[in-house]
Structure 1
């Protein structure tokens, strides 16, 4: 039985992003994102129609401001009342789950893909996908970066510009690069 690169990506195994099926899925995402970003806000609504149909799920009242970018879209799951401010980028090679009422500031970046450490592996397009989970009622400050494999707990706050490389406990505030706890509520 042949395992496709998409199946490897979904299983959290090393896969090549240079695969034709994956490229076709990225093209579909780019088209949906282009429509979302190009529509006048009153016509777009909370999320452009093509992007809404592409996403894994969108809760009631979830909103994505333009300019937005995602890699695939089908791995992005938004809870009720989630807000992604202008300029957010979600490289959703693995599932990205964002809980109810969570707010992402401008230019927040979520990177699920990790490239191979060896040059030959990178040349072959090898990467591995790690999921990101953000709980309910969290606040992610502008220009924060969240790396794959991270879970951010309910009510957590990530300071602007922080680089989150490991899990953040519920009701904890983290800042810096790498992000470190400064307060627990």
Structure 2
């Protein structure tokens, strides 16, 4: 029989109040408090916390505090990631972030969601779908990336956009819902 964590990672209905998941989130909250209270210029201290928190990341990473996530260990980031202040990643499923990605302030990445039918939703189980962000992507401030989305390589998402569907490589996309505005040179 699958654990609730395995159901969560497999995109099946799962119970978020499962003791294993609650303990994982508790540990993550402790690490986030530590990270968010580490001096901005203490790169060694910040990196040490990120090594305990994230699933994997490249040699060069800069995440401005405050930063928030659900589990952390489902976040996999490539080389040269920059996240500005107040970014949130609900990583109930894998969040894969490519190399050379920049995120403005208040970017929110949500793998978690709930059934849309009220009678199912009120029963409590949740769902999650992975998110992939390609190489050389820029997410402007206040961008929201919804569950199951892939953002292609070399793409820019305009500030304030809500990305509800996957976006291809080499485009500028913006809006709510986010849509392709123009193609960009490769």
Given the two structures, how large is their TM-score scaled by the length of structure 2? 0.94
On the 8 A contact 1:9/1:15 being kept in 2, the answer is yes
> Which residue does the alignment assign to 1:143?
142
User: Alpha-carbon deviation of 1:52?
Assistant: 2.5
In 2, Cα distance between the equivalents of 1:124 and 1:37?
A: 34
- RMSD (CA atoms): 1.4
- Structure 1: gaps (5+ residues): none
In 2, Cα distance between the equivalents of 1:89 and 1:177?
A: 19
> Which residue does the alignment assign to 1:42?
41
Deviations, residues 155-174 of structure 1 (Å, cap 9, x unaligned): 00000000000111111111
In 1, Cα distance between the equivalents of 2:99 and 2:44?
A: 19
Q: How many residues align?
A: 184
> Which residue does the alignment assign to 2:80?
81
User: Alpha-carbon deviation of 1:44?
Assistant: 4.6
User: Alpha-carbon deviation of 1:126?
Assistant: 1.2
Distance verdict in 2 for CA 1:104–1:45, change over 3 Å: farther
2:183 is equivalent to residue 181 of structure 1: no
> Which residue does the alignment assign to 1:133?
132
User: Alpha-carbon deviation of 1:64?
Assistant: 0.8
Moved over 6 A (4+): none
Secondary structure at the aligned position of 2:145 is classed as strand
Stretch of structure 1 that moved more, 140-149 or 9-18: 9-18
Deviations, residues 10-33 of structure 1 (Å, cap 9, x unaligned): 111111111111010011111111
> Which residue does the alignment assign to 2:69?
70
On the 8 A contact 1:111/1:146 being kept in 2, the answer is yes
> Which residue does the alignment assign to 2:115?
116
Secondary structure at the aligned position of 2:6 is classed as helix
Stretch of structure 1 that moved more, 169-178 or 46-55: 46-55
In 2, Cα distance between the equivalents of 1:121 and 1:33?
A: 32
Secondary structure at the aligned position of 1:117 is classed as coil
In 2, Cα distance between the equivalents of 1:159 and 1:52?
A: 31
In 1, Cα distance between the equivalents of 2:62 and 2:89?
A: 14
> Which residue does the alignment assign to 1:52?
51
Deviations, residues 42-63 of structure 1 (Å, cap 9, x unaligned): 2255845223222110101111
On the 8 A contact 2:38/2:45 being kept in 1, the answer is no
On the 8 A contact 1:83/1:102 being kept in 2, the answer is yes
Given the two structures, how large is their TM-score scaled by the length of structure 1? 0.95
- Structure 2: gaps (5+ residues): none
